[in-house]
Amino acid sequence: MRYLESAKVASVSYDEIDIVVDQALKDYDAGRSLASDPATDKALSTLDPRIRDSAQREIKELRDMGIDERVGRARVTTEQQAQQKAEHEAQFGAGGYAATPGHSLHERGLAIDVKLYDEQGRLITSWDHPWYGIVGDIGQSNGLQWGVTRDGQWGDLRHLQLPYNQLQ
């Protein structure tokens, strides 16, 4: 995908997102659409109904635009959350982005972490990739909160959840 090659940027600007959205809409007009994958469908089935439909719509909208988004984590056990926190701290340093076990919305089925794949089917590992901005836009337009952790820290661009103000 040609426009991806210009996407190696330190931060994402709205202009860059507009360019990618324009291209995605052209792909959509050209009839390019991706099917869902079974692992994502299974992950979605574990979610609390309060976000399941929103997450399904968000993923379908992106895939209809030609953006291959899949769910990496949905509902997790407390043990899995503890493992995730250890991995985040190894990657990002003390604190990391992962919630303390017992306090993650993933443990309540109220959050997903998405994975994006390029047209060659390779996992996109850089969060600077402009598709993450589209994840945020489409996620929020479907009523999900994007990228924010419980303590208000910004930065986990893979993370979509039920907005905190809708929590009981």
**113 touches Zn ion by CB under 5 A:** yes
Rg (CA), the chain: 16
Q: Segment contacting Zn ion (CB under 5 A): 15-23, 88-96, 112-120, 136-144?
A: 112-120
**75 touches Zn ion by CB under 5 A:** no
Between residue 92 and residue 111, which ones bind Zn ion under the rule CB under 5 A? 111
**Contacts with Zn ion: how many residues (CB under 5 A)?**
3
CB of 53 to Zn ion, least distance (A): 19
- 114 close to 127: Cβ distance less than 8 angstroms: no
- Choose between 16 and 113: whose C-beta lies nearer to Zn ion: 113
Q: From CA 80, how far away is CA 107, in angstroms rounded? A: 9
CA distances from 124 to 57, 84, 101, 158 (A): 21, 19, 27, 11
Please, how many CA atoms are within 13 Å of residue 75, restricted to the half-sphere of its CB? 15
- Choose between 34 and 105: whose C-beta lies nearer to Zn ion: 105
Which residues are at the interface with Zn ion (CB under 5 A)? 111, 113, 159
